[in-house]
Amino acid sequence: MKYPIIVLSFLSVISCRQKENRAVGPKVDQIEAKSSMDTVPKDSSITSKKTVLRTFEGLADTTFVRLADFSEDFEYDMRYATENNFLKAKVYDCAECYTRVKTAKALIAANKKFMENGVKIKFFDCYRPNSVQYKMWEIVPNPQYVANPDKGSIHNKGGAVDITLVDMEGNELDMGTDFDFFGKRAYHDNMDLPQEVLDNRKLLKETMEAHGFWSIRTEWWHYNLSAASNDKIADFKWDCPD
């Protein structure tokens, strides 16, 4: 989407905003270093086929895991591993969706419920290393649109996701706007929308909330896991295929 002035051209992405910042307590000295991260190694890219899915047995709730290793029922459009974003540049070296174990469990449970209605979750963004948050802040240093990396966001904790719903053929449901559209049309409390859009947003919101997530009023796509609010900010970085 193009905006008429330069300032508005930056009002596109980063799903952890000023309101989310109020829910984030840890400061930069609480960031988890890569060397101390408890993670499950990945063995393929998001789009690669897997023969055996992993289980959560023996994994702590705070362990970082690659979601595609635990379920094949999700779709992905990791915008910031491409140039299809407001930066017009890749922020991630490769497309991956990592979360904490507890977030992954809640997402899989929510997705099973969605699939009973003939739809499933599609991801735009998942865990975001704090170093990537700094890259974004360099471009848009405005806490109204980008979480200050010194304070971090729940994305940096592995407890936030940016999502939509697709049908079983992968076609996106109409949510009224594209991902990271900033304006009243993206607000949850905007009822001046077609009934189909309102129904789709209601399905997304009510199902996610029933599985432990909460939303941001101004962003229909953003969901935080309540149980992740007190986790530490992390800068774990996944390996990319050679």
CA-nearest of 163, 13, 38 to 88 is 13
- DSSP conformation letters of the chain: ---SSHHHHT-S--S--HHHHTT----GGGPBPGGG--BPPP-S-TTS--SS----TT--TT-EEEGGGT-S--EE--GGGSS-STTSS-SSSS---EEEHHHHHHHHHHHHHHHHTTEEEEEEE----HHHHHHHHHH---TTTS--TTT--SGGGT-EEEEEEEETTSPBP--SS-TT--SGGG-TT---S-HHHHHHHHHHHHHHHHTTEEEETTEEEEEEEGGGTTSPPB--------
Residues identified as active-site: 219
